[in-house]
Amino acid sequence: MLVAVVSDERGGGVWQPLDPAGRPAGPAEPVADLAAAMAAREAAERPRWVWATGVPLYPALLRAGVRLDRCHDVELTEALLLGHAGRWGEPRSLAAAWARLTGAPVPPDPAPRPAEPPGHGQGALFDPPSGPPGPDIEALTRVYADQLDRIAATAHPGRFRLLVAAESAGALIAAEMGAAGLPWRADVHDMILADLLGEASPVGGPPRRLAELAARIADAFGVRQLHADSPAELLKAFARAGVELPNTRAWVLRGVEHPAVPLVLEYKELYRIWTAHGWAWRDAWVSGGRFHPEYVPGGVVSGRWATRGGGALQIPKVIRRAVVADPGWAFVVADAGQLEPRVLAAVSGDERLAAAGGAGDLYAALARDAFAGDRARAKVALLGAMYGQTGGAAVPALAVLKRNYPTAFGYVEAAARTGEAGGLVRSWLGRTCPPGSVDLGDGAEVDPEAAADPQGPRARAARSRGRFTRNFVIQATAAEWAATLLATLRTALAGTGAELVFFQHDEVIVHCPAGQAEAVAAAVSASGARATGLLFGDTPVRFPLDLSIVDCYADAA
């Protein structure tokens, strides 16, 4: 059952049943109370809802107590289809898709909403419109039918349908996790900040520990005052001390012998915690014992998720001590180990690498098979092939990899060569990288003759793009596996009381009653196996998950 739905600013809307081809299967009907009507129809029929975008509709439905099982998000799907056609970055809204379909001028997409924790400051069921009325139910149904036709015309329509389903499910999950929130102990967070940073400044400046470190850094350079958070001032201070540095990144500083270096490194770490997860962050993002991030599924070009503020994808390990399960509850934390190397083994068609991917430790299996038992060398080779680290100590290891696993090596090499020439590469399910011109800062495109210059800026830019496309085909597929895992796990947990509360690239956290933790862990493992089968079929490659059942996120292995 398919039902197209559009909402209005008064809490009502219009819906229309559709047949499997996206054509109307009945009349469009106005609905006075959309949330109540969708709740009743969801309970009776569990349809796949077709809507322009889940934002802000689904968060509003969640606030009204309505949870949906399935959807097709036209806006997310349009972005995937435009990318597949080499038109990555064009307006993807329903209004833009409708205009392209009818030959009308294409309007730009609306500006993103400012970051605001879900559920904060929302009084009405639906946000009032910020501009002219959007496309109606006819536009939605016709664009949806057109999308189905375009999906069917892709090289691998079955894979692309899975990509669209996972992306749309991700939009539901993102809204649900934002609404549920990650359990967060503000009192523990305050104690962590006090231990690390000292007392907060009464006038809003750096806390005591940072102020003390800044004074010690200035003293190490022999000056009265120095803004330790300013890279420009630090570079000048090092230059005056006879140390010329290209930047103040931690890995650069660690190679420098100067008494200020350990102080600067400590300052940088604490400053990052203060600005990203300090007291101001807690006041803005933590309420009612929950951290409410706003996730953006597919917010990165590779398909990985992003956030609109809140720093959910970069919670430092020390701050994770504040993530504590509710009394009588537990966290099931699942982390997919060696995900991208296993993806390469699954998609490349290299039977020898796939056989190694069937082991619990792929690098160890690789080492036994081709690297005389040297696990570190096997790891350097495989990561070097995927990330384009082709110089230095990696050269002899890569030669072994190329000789023993030529199909896998050729897979990423072909993606790199395509990228260097300005071409498009795709993930396993069909997500497409940005279009095939290398950004040189002047809008110029790389042509093969210019790229052949081993010294010119175009050649350097082409090689950089080649490194990007080399990894894109792997990282984007890894993101698809993780998104499929998440979607299948959501289905498995429905009605159990357990809730998905966190997702980061290849890590998932479920908050559940302690008595359900073992069953939830089993469901996570089964969902990983299900995701592997959906993407890669009958493959010998395993995608094991490291599972922990803990009361505090920081205790997860």
Distance CA 348, CA 351 (A): 9
User: Which tokens in the block code for residue 195?
Assistant: 């231990």
Give the DSSP letter of residue 48. E
pLDDT given for residue 118 in this prediction = 45
> pLDDT tens digit string along 288-343?
999 999 999 999 999 999 998 888 888 999 999 999 999 999 999 999 989 999 99
Q: Express each pLDDT in 388-447 by its tens digit.
A: 887 777 889 999 999 999 999 999 999 999 999 999 999 999 999 987 643 433 333 334
Q: Is the pLDDT of residue 486 over 80?
A: yes
Residue positions counted in the chain: 557
Strands in 507-513's sheet, in edge-to-edge order, are 499-504, 507-513, 329-336, 545-550
Nearest-CA neighbor of 262 among 254, 270, 251? Answer: 254
pLDDT recorded at residue 190: 96
Question: CA 83 to CA 432: how far, in whole Å?
Answer: 5
Whether 80 and 427 have beta carbons less than 8 Å apart is answered as: no
Percentage of the chain exceeding pLDDT 70: 92
Residue 124 has pLDDT above 90, yes or no: no
pLDDT band at 128 (very low <50, low <70, confident <90, very high): very low
Average pLDDT score over residue span 1-11:
92
End-to-end CA distance of the chain: 43
pLDDT above 80 for 475: yes
φ, ψ for residue 307, nearest 5 deg: -135, 155
421 to 28, 305, 399, 429, 463: CA distances (angstroms): 49, 28, 24, 23, 9
Residues 557, 549: Cα–Cα separation, whole Å: 9
- Determine the Cα–Cα distance for residues 400 and 294; give it in Å rounded to an integer: 45
For 187, residues 6+ apart whose C-beta sits below 8 A from its C-beta are none
Question: Residue 158 and residue 62: Cα distance in Å, rounded?
Answer: 31
Q: Which CATH architecture has domain 291-338+479-555?
A: 2-Layer Sandwich (3.30)
Q: What is the domain class of 187-282 according to CATH?
A: mainly alpha
Give, in order, the Cα–Cα distances in Å from 181 to each of 62, 169, 231, 367: 13, 18, 35, 42
User: What's the token pair of residue 343?
Assistant: 């993806």
CB atoms within 10 A of CB 23: 13
Give Dmax over CA atoms of the chain in angstroms: 80
The residues with which 552 forms a beta bridge, in sequence order, are: 324
Torsion of CA 242, 248, 251, 253, to 10 degrees: 30
With the CA atoms of 238, 240, 242 and 247 taken in that order, what torsion angle do they form, in degrees rounded to the nearest 10?
Answer: 30
Q: Which residues in 194-325 belong to E strands, given as ranges?
A: 286-287, 290-291, 295-296, 306-307
pLDDT beyond 50 at 123: no
| Arithmetic mean of pLDDT, 466-475 | 95
Q: Can you tell me whether residue 38 is helix, strand or coil?
A: helix
**DSSP per residue over 154-209, as a string?**
SSSHHHHHHHHHHHHHHHHHHHHHHHH-EE--HHHHHHHHHHHH-SPPTTSS--HH
pLDDT reported for residue 557: 77
Q: Which of 289, 325, 332, 321 is nearest to 551 (CA)?
A: 325
Residue 440's nearest CA partner among 425, 453, 427, 426 is 453
What number of other Cβ atoms are within 10 A of residue 117's Cβ?
Answer: 20
CB 135 within 8 A of CB 52: yes
Strand (E) or helix (H) holding 4? strand 2-7
- Of 3.40.91, 1.10.150, 2.60.40, 3.30.460, the CATH number of 340-472 is 1.10.150
Contact of 369 with 352, CB cutoff 8 Å: yes
Higher pLDDT, 406 or 457: 406
User: Mind listing the pLDDT tens digit for each residue in 134-178?
Assistant: 459 999 999 999 999 999 999 999 999 999 999 999 999 999 999
pLDDT-derived band of residue 113, with 50, 70 and 90 as boundaries? low
- Any residues with CB less than 8 A from the CB of 251 and at least 6 apart, and which? none
The tokens of 161 are what? 């349908």
CA atoms 263, 266, 270, 271: torsion sign: positive
Q: Give just the sign of the alpha carbon dihedral 290, 292, 297, 299.
A: negative
Strands (E), 236-360: 286-287, 290-291, 295-296, 306-307, 329-336
Average model confidence (pLDDT) across the chain: 91
- The encoded tokens of residue 128 equal 């009032």
Return the percentage of the chain with pLDDT > 90, whole number: 82
Q: Identify the residue with better confidence: 221 or 129.
A: 221
Question: In the block, which residue shows the tokens 């795709």?
Answer: 426
pLDDT tens-digit readout, 243-254 = 999 999 999 999
Return the domain boundaries, the chain: 2-153, 187-282, 291-338+479-555, 340-472
269 pLDDT exceeds 60? Answer: yes
The band of 461, judged by pLDDT with boundaries at 50, 70 and 90, is: confident
Res 286 pLDDT > 80: yes
> Which structure tokens are listed for 252?
């650069």
- What confidence score (pLDDT) does residue 292 get? 94
Dihedral sign from CA coordinates of 209, 215, 218, 220: negative
The answer to whether the pTM exceeds 0.85 is yes
At 64, the amino acid letter reads: A
Q: Per-residue pLDDT for 119 more than 50? A: no
Contacts of 295 (CB under 8 A, 6+ apart): 174, 177, 178, 305, 306, 307, 312, 503
Tens-place pLDDT, residues 501-546: 999 989 999 999 999 999 999 999 999 999 999 999 999 999 999 9
545 forms bridges with which residues in the sheet?
Answer: 336
